[in-house]
Amino acid sequence: MPQITLNIPSEKLELLKEVSEAMGLESAELNLISESPEWHQNVLNERMEKFQSGHSKLRIWEDFKKKIIDNR
């Protein structure tokens, strides 16, 4: 799927959400990234690459928390 990176002023964020919904984009398809330190952005990029390549999977926090509690 093609990706577009936009720098949006905070005050225009709600408008962008409305426009994206009008275009038929689901909110899950809209990734909002604020500025973060370079080291943190590198970690995020590595995690995203692992997820997209299938080497990592998304977990719901409640399920993960239950697994931790069950393994005590």
Could you report the per-residue pLDDT of 56-70, keeping only the tens digit for each? 877 788 888 898 899
Same-domain pairing of 20 and 42: no
- Give the model's confidence band at 28: pLDDT under 50 very low, under 70 low, under 90 confident, else very high: low
What's the pLDDT score for residue 12?
Answer: 84
d(C-alpha 31, C-alpha 21), whole Å: 13
Q: Is the pLDDT of residue 47 over 80?
A: yes
Same-domain pairing of 28 and 57: no
Using an 8 Å Cβ cutoff, are 56 and 50 in contact? yes
d(C-alpha 66, C-alpha 72), whole Å: 10
Which residues span the domain enclosing 64?
A: 37-72
Number of residues that make up the chain: 72
Same-domain pairing of 69 and 42: yes
- pTM, two decimals, is 0.36
Same-domain pairing of 41 and 64: yes
Q: Would residue 62 count as lying in a domain?
A: yes
Q: Would residue 2 count as lying in a domain?
A: no
Same-domain pairing of 42 and 22: no
Q: Please give the average per-residue pLDDT across 5-23, as a whole number.
A: 83
Max distance between CA atoms of the chain, in angstroms, equals: 47
d(C-alpha 64, C-alpha 38), whole Å: 28
